[in-house]
């Protein structure tokens, strides 16, 4: 499936470990190309572009192709976005349509603020 | 047995044996094959253990590998817990017959941001099933998801889909769920609405400081099943259920006779002793020699080369051995030869049901031809009279079915001879009454045969003596004292 990288990183196959460290290492787990996974991906890209500048990497894991990763990475819901870096690891589930909550999940915004419209 | 015949007659619904002692009998063969079974119970009721045993027996004994998806405990913890009840899950895991996947979910660490489904869980389970070629699945306790995820509507829809998917894959599945006391709903999240094929309820009750585990099959679509509450045990060898109430009055009555161990008493019993497979009650006031009679009976059985199981609820084994030496009985030799086994326990060590389960298990393991319970009176201390009677009925049914001859002793209070026989006399085939009679400065031991079904027997009251030469009965005519029912 599609691999999307920030402009700075180079093309590399999944699983190779010697990556250039980036500030934001994100993984989006999906199960095939579904409406939800497409929505999640486009939402994620938009949020990253807006809030993370170029300092991020998104890796998409299709669990239909790599089913063993569901157990290894403790995934039950899809889509699930995992923030691998910066630590600690965070999990954000759903199609990421609620930008506010995504930002809270990514620690870009303090939790439990006024449920007002997104300031993003 | 009737159970097996019924199962054979049933076409349509396949059964998968759980392998748990007694449970398959209650379920008339096992849980529904290729379908879902809900196991409901409170915390500590034994849901997980039941589920794991189902997987264990499947993998080890029936060639059906299994997958355990644990939502609560990590695999290591499950393995350790089941080791404590005598199961070796690790070897099954390493031989790829069992797979445990711990699903870790913590609400605090999850942010929900829109639509999602649980396809990840499906993929994960599917992967696990493929890896060990599983036929059995345990979901323990899937309800944890409700605490971890906020979108209950999605969760419900997905669980419904999951259970259907498991059925489509032909998995025989056990799903555990917590009870929700005080509501109309059986389980906290109403899972029984989705899992409708078979529902088993586990219960852990404490009555007057004594706990008893019970199991009940609430529902079994397309199959008959035992409907009572059955006691079950969780101990070093796993779970065992006692399906005694499923038996009825179907035992055959033989004509073989066996010695009571006291020649004078045999004489009174038409000269040939008790019927094999009958139940004998020896009641009497304190110190009248009930245990001695019971021990002589046990001794005679062992001398014939038969196995005897002795349940002692008052004395320790060594105390019994010592006391019986004083009346000339060497019971120790039978223990050494493996013919006699004494099981001693305080009545309060467990509830009545627990005792019944223990007795049941011991009987199945040791397979004795005679059994002594000394005394049953003490069991009253852990249950009320109707409960004791119900338990004894079940026990006696079970004994008769196995053609086991049983001697029960019962302590009676002075002047209340029959009343304190806790209404169990109707269950007994023979009833020997022992009494002390004070005459002048002497205390004389008297014996009276109150009833003995199906045989000509003496109706006389006979004096007997306990000495290091054993029990000797005087001639029937000698020392006759009137002894009427219920009156001193």
Task: Report which of residues A29 and A106 the model is more confident about.
Answer: A29
In the prediction, which pLDDT does B451 show? 85
Smallest CA–CA distance, residue A63 to chain B, in Å, is 7
Among A34, A39, A71, the residue to mutate for chain B (most B Cβ within 10 A): A71
Q: A80: nearest CA in chain B?
A: B116
For residue A66, what are its two tokens?
């790599």
- pLDDT at B251 > cutoff 70: no
| Chain A contact present for B112, CB below 8 A | yes
ipTM above 0.90, yes or no: no
Res. A61 pLDDT band, cuts 50 70 90:
very high
Q: How confident is the model at residue B456, as a pLDDT?
A: 82
**Contact residues for B277 (Cβ-Cβ < 8 A; gap 6+):** B251, B253, B254, B399, B400, B403, B404, B405
Give pLDDT, residue B5. 52
Q: What is the pTM of this model?
A: 0.71
B483 vs B486: CA distance, rounded Å: 9
Instruction: Indicate if the pLDDT at residue A113 is higher than 70.
Output: no
- Locus of tokens 């939800």: A36
The values of phi and psi at residue B361, to 5°, are -70, -45
Helix H or strand E encompassing B243: none
d(CA B76, CA B68): 12
Closest C-alpha to B208, from B29, B387, B80: B387
Inspect the interface and report whether the beta carbons of B119 and A95 lie closer than 8 Å.
Answer: no
pLDDT (tens digit per residue) in B164-214:
999 999 999 999 999 887 777 788 888 888 887 899 999 887 766 666 788
Q: Hey, is the C-beta of A102 within 8 angstroms of any chain B C-beta?
A: yes
- Contact of A87 with chain B, judged by CB distance below 8 Å, is answered with no
- The shortest C-alpha distance from B36 to chain A (Å) reads 21
Q: What is the pLDDT of residue B284?
A: 85
Average pLDDT, chain B: 83
């Amino acid at each position: 499936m599609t691999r999307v990288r920030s402009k700075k990183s180079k093309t590399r196959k999944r699983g190779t470990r010697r990556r250039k460290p980036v500030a934001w290492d994100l993984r989006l787990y999906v199960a095939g190309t579904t409406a939800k996974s497409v929505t999640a991906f486009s939402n994620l890209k938009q949020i990253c572009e807006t809030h993370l500048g170029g300092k991020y990497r998104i890796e998409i894991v299709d669990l239909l192709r790599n089913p063993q990763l569901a157990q290894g990475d403790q995934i039950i819901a899809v889509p699930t976005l995992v923030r691998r870096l910066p630590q600690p690891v965070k999990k954000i589930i759903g199609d990421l349509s609620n930008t506010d909550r995504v930002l809270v999940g990514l620690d870009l915004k303090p939790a439990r603020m006024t449920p007002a419209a997104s300031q993003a | 047995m009737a159970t097996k015949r019924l199962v054979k007659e049933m076409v349509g619904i396949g059964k998968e044996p759980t392998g748990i002692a007694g449970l398959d009998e209650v379920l008339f063969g096992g849980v529904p094959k290729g379908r879902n079974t809900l196991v409901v119970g409170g915390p500590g009721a034994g849901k997980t253990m039941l589920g794991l045993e189902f997987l264990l027996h499947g993998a080890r004994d029936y060639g059906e590998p299994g997958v355990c998806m644990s939502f609560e405990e990590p695999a290591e913890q499950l393995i350790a817990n089941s080791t404590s009840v005598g199961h070796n899950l690790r070897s099954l895991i390493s031989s790829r017959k069992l797979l445990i996947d711990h699903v870790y979910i913590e609400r605090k660490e999850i942010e929900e941001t829109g639509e999602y489904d649980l396809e990840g869980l499906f993929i994960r389970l599917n992967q696990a099933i493929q890896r060990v070629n599983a036929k059995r699945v345990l979901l323990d306790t899937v309800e944890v998801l409700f605490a971890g995820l906020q979108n209950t509507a999605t969760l419900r829809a997905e669980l419904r889909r999951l259970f259907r998917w498991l059925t489509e894959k032909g998995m025989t599945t056990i799903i555990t769920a917590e009870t929700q006391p005080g509501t109309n709903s059986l389980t906290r999240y109403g899972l029984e609405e989705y899992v409708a094929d078979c529902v088993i309820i586990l219960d852990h009750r404490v009555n007057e400081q004594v706990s008893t585990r019970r199991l009940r099959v609430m529902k079994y679509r397309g199959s008959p099943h035992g409907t009572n509450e059955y006691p079950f045990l969780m101990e070093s060898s796993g779970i065992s259920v006692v399906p005694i109430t499923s038996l009825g009055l179907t035992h055959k009555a033989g004509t073989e006779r066996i010695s009571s161990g006291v020649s004078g008493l045999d004489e009174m019993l038409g000269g040939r002793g008790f019927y094999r497979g009958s139940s004998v009650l020896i009641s009497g006031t304190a110190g009248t020699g009930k245990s001695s009679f019971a021990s002589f009976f046990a001794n005679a059985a062992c001398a014939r080369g038969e196995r005897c199981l002795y349940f002692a609820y008052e004395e320790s084994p060594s105390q019994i051995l010592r006391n019986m030496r004083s009346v000339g009985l060497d019971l120790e030799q039978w223990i050494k030869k493996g013919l006699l086994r004494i099981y001693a326990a305080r009545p309060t060590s467990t509830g009545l049901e627990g005792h019944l389960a223990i007795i049941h298990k011991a009987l199945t393991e040791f397979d004795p031809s005679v059994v002594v319970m000394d005394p049953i009176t003490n069991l009253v201390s852990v249950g009320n009279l109707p409960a004791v009677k119900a338990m004894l009925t079940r026990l006696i049914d079970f004994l008769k079915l196995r053609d086991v001859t049983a001697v029960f002793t019962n302590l009676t209070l002075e002047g209340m001879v029959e009343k304190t026989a806790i209404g169990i006399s109707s269950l007994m085939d023979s009833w020997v009454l022992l009494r002390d009679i004070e005459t002048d400065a002497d205390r004389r031991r008297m014996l009276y045969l109150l009833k003995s079904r199906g045989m000509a027997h003496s109706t006389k009251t006979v004096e007997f003596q306990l000495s290091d030469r054993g029990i000797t009965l005087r001639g029937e005519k000698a020392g006759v004292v009137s002894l009427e029912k219920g009156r001193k």
